[in-house]
Amino acid sequence: MPAMFTSLLRSYSGLNPPSRPPPSFYEVHFVISCHDAAMNPARLDRALKILEYLAHHQEGSALKGMCEDLDLPMSSAHDLMAALVELDVVRQSDPKTYILGPRALVLALSILDSIDLRQVTRPFLARLCEQVGENTYLALRSGSTVTYADRHEAGQNVAIVMKLGSPRPLHATSIGKLLSAFNPDLEAEALKPAHLEPLTARTIIERDALRAELAMIRERGYSVTDGESVEGIVAIATPIFSATGAVDAAVHISAPRGRLTGDRLPVVLTEMLRTSAAISEQLGAPSEVVRPDLASVAALEADRVRRGHARGLT
């Protein structure tokens, strides 16, 4: 997603979109052209830079300061601003200060709605599958449940294939824990006593222990389960951040314990974190949330294993 539109989304936090439909590319081009007979792609690029600039200056900006920062001629910038004001994409909060108009948000939201997450993630899942030699999955939140939405299969004989579309337990799966850790309403759902059923001897069914586990997942930025929903299966989930910084999707891999233990697990986990970060960047997620601390993965995993041993999960 273009950075400008993700900036627009974040700059409009809490604002209700206007009822007027978003301007199309052709409408933008036509109105700007009416103000400037010499309209060309370079001019349109300047208009987009102005919108992105205002998205990063929520308090508004005077035209002179904007032109100095963007190195734009005052005369042409004045014409562009007049066109954007006419479109209601930009407004004047006072005679000298320009701010984004409500239709800018509608335009950003219309682009966000057009994104097909499965289409975006497929090349990334295919590349990850080739790198690690395991089935790779896209997991999604669906209301108060989580499910697998897409899969890329490895060539080798796998011990388990996750069914697409089936709800998965929040408290005992790597995807359930990960999405619960980043969504308070899902966490509350996962912690309900009625949902804390043991699926294996390793399933965490104590509320305090699960709450602590979810807090740890939030801190380290990934989830690993070892035989908690299916005996002998290790599963990993890493977060996909949206343009607004929300986590409603994840990259997932599961395999027999013998293929995801020891030194190999940190290697696979590192590639998964890189993959989910790349997908997040493609979706326009804020840069501060999509940079995993890859250098600490091995140490974090060693600590996770020690904690498992302390609970008797050996």
**Can you tell me the distance from the alpha carbon of 244 to that of 7, in angstroms, rounded to the nearest whole number?**
9
> What is each CA distance from 302 to 179, 181, 210, 271, 295, in whole angstroms?
23, 21, 19, 17, 13
At residue 153, φ and ψ (nearest 5 deg) are -95, 140
Q: What is the pLDDT of residues 151-163, one digit of tens each?
A: 888 876 655 667 7
pLDDT of residue 284: 81
pLDDT at 251 over 90: yes
Tell me what pLDDT residue 15 has: 45
| pTM confidence score | 0.66
How much is the pLDDT for 34? 45
Task: Indicate the range of 30-34, 45-49, 144-148, 218-222 predicted with least confidence.
Answer: 30-34
CA 268-270-275 angle, to 5 degrees, is 95
Check: CB of residue 212 under 8 Å from CB of residue 204: no
Computed over every residue of the chain, the mean pLDDT equals 78
At 49, the pLDDT band (50, 70, 90 cuts) reads confident
For the stretch 252-284, pLDDT in tens is: 998 888 888 778 888 899 999 999 999 998 888
Can you give the pLDDT at residue 236?
93
Q: Write the pLDDT tens digit of every residue in 93-125.
A: 888 888 888 777 766 666 555 567 888 899 999
At 92 the pLDDT is: 83
Domains of the chain with bracketed CATH? 3-112 (1.10.10.10), 116-310 (3.30.450.40)
Order of strands, sheet of 97-100, starting from the edge strand that comes earlier in the sequence: 61-62, 97-100, 90-94
Residue (of 280, 217, 250) closest to 1 by Cα position: 280
**How far separated are the first and last CA of the chain, in Å rounded?**
44
Chain-centre distance of CA 27, in angstroms?
A: 30
Q: What percent of the chain has pLDDT over 70?
A: 74
Whether 22 has a pLDDT exceeding 50, the answer reads: no
Query: Range with the lowest mean pLDDT among 4-13, 89-98, 129-138, 248-257?
Result: 4-13
Q: How far is CA 136 from the centre of its chain?
A: 17
Report how far residue 34's alpha carbon sits from residue 203's, in angstroms, rounded to the nearest whole number: 66
> Rounded mean pLDDT of 23-52?
60
Q: Mean pLDDT highest for which of 13-17, 20-24, 182-186?
A: 182-186
pLDDT of residue 157: 61
* pLDDT of amino acid 99: 87
Q: Mind listing the pLDDT tens digit for each residue in 145-201?
A: 888 888 888 876 655 667 787 788 888 899 999 999 999 998 998 888 887 888 888
More confident residue, 64 or 21: 64
